[in-house]
Structure 1
Amino acid sequence: MKKENLIALGLTEELVSEVMDIYKKDLKGYIPKKRFDEVNDSRKDLEKQIEDKNEQLISFEEKIKSCEEAEKIIKKLQQDNESAKKFYAAKIKDMTITSAIQSKLMNVKYSDLLVDKFDKSILVVNEDGTVSGIDEQLTILKKQYKDLFIIDTKDEELNCQKKSSEGVKNPWSMEHFNLAVKLQV
């Protein structure tokens, strides 16, 4: 959706701005299709490799059952298969966590700098594929690296309201409005 397309449909600038704000809010938290496809293709590739190892193991078991050397080969293949399963499961977990972290850092300047600041050993991948513990670490990072986070204009308005309630005058609020200034203009 582009601003020019909405204007061409006959919407006013105000309506276009409101529609674009709603559109941006709706897209917040979505993982980009390119990243989703990368993770999904990698996962399929890893599952295919595990499946190939299992088929290899089964074919060896069927071909060589009687010989002692064959039993050694089978045991070695089973150990290799188990270690490959653990390796690929860890790799899938890491990709899931990294993808979840990147989705949380969509509105951040230089997100690559912050990805490494997360302690992945604390994060837990749930059965439904969600990752627990990211929000807590993100809150800490927002405090430590304020300058890297893009401040939402609504957050700025809330900060102005907080400051004005603490005693700092807000010249644009109704209670501090100066009529003399308006008459001079």
Structure 2
Amino acid sequence: MNWLLKLIEKHTKDGVLDIEALNKEIAIEFPKYAVPKETYNALAETKVKLEDDIKARDIQLEELKKVDAAGLQAEITRLQGENKTSKEAYETELKELMLTNAIKLAIAGKVHDESIVSGLVDKSKLIIGDDGKIVGLDEQINTLKEGKAFLFKDEPVDPNNPNPTPGFKKIGNPPPNEPAAMEDAISAAFGNTTQK
């Protein structure tokens, strides 16, 4: 956490901390020192799976010690088949886990119901690249945004650009059902303009 202390010192002048500048630099530096939660969870689950596989192999080796020389080849062949099946199942589970985590990470905080949206993504069309990136995910999410926009939350308004659509500005009175506007209108109608 020395990097964080250095950033705090860097953005503290005359005993006052510039929180906005600090947060911006933390957002840039944080990925260099931390692993995203989804990646950590995937690695932790992989570690547990590998530990279980090692225990299973140890048990298999102990069983091999009990087998006579004549039955040894048959037992080796059987174990090779089991190990191949286990490896294929593990690789399938790992791929499924990576795809699920990538989908959850891509839609986190952007949709109303993550389980519904993640269920609409066709995992069979996704490819895990050599660099671990998921190819085809962004395209599917963009297609869902266009076809089923109601599943997605509105994009947050940029405080530096409150009117993102060029040429349009919000003008006029506040919406009629806004509680503050209604209270002001009722107060004005009864001549009570003093605030409590």
Tell whether 2:47 aligns with 1:44: yes
Tell whether 2:130 aligns with 1:136: no
**1:103-147 deviation line (CA, Å, top 9, x unaligned):** 111222321211111100111112222211111111111112222
**1:73-122 deviation line (CA, Å, top 9, x unaligned):** 22111111110111011101111111111111122232121111110011
**TM-score, scaled to structure 1:** 0.63
Q: CA deviation at 1:150?
A: 3.1
Aligned residue for 2:110?
A: 108
Q: Distance in 1 between matches of 2:170 and 2:36?
A: 42
**Are the aligned partners of 1:125 and 1:131 in contact in 2 as well (CA < 8 Å)?**
yes
**Are the aligned partners of 1:50 and 1:81 in contact in 2 as well (CA < 8 Å)?**
no
Which sits farther off after the overlay, 37-46 or 74-83?
37-46
2:44 partner amino acid = D
Tell whether 2:99 aligns with 1:93: no
Q: CA deviation at 1:19?
A: 6.8
Larger RCO, structure (CA 8 Å, separation 6 or more): 1
2:124 partner amino acid = S
Q: Equivalent residues in 2 for 1:9-158 (5 A)?
A: 33=37, 35-61=38-64, 64=67, 66-68=69-71, 70-109=72-111, 110-147=113-150, 148-154=152-158
Q: CA deviation at 1:64?
A: 3.6
Mind listing any 5+ residue stretches in structure 2 that lack a counterpart? 1-14, 172-196
Q: 1:96 to 1:78 in 2, by over 3 A?
A: same
Indicate the SS of the match to 1:121: helix
**Are the aligned partners of 2:108 and 2:114 in contact in 1 as well (CA < 8 Å)?**
yes
**Are the aligned partners of 2:64 and 2:75 in contact in 1 as well (CA < 8 Å)?**
no
RMSD of aligned residue pairs (Cα, Å): 3.6
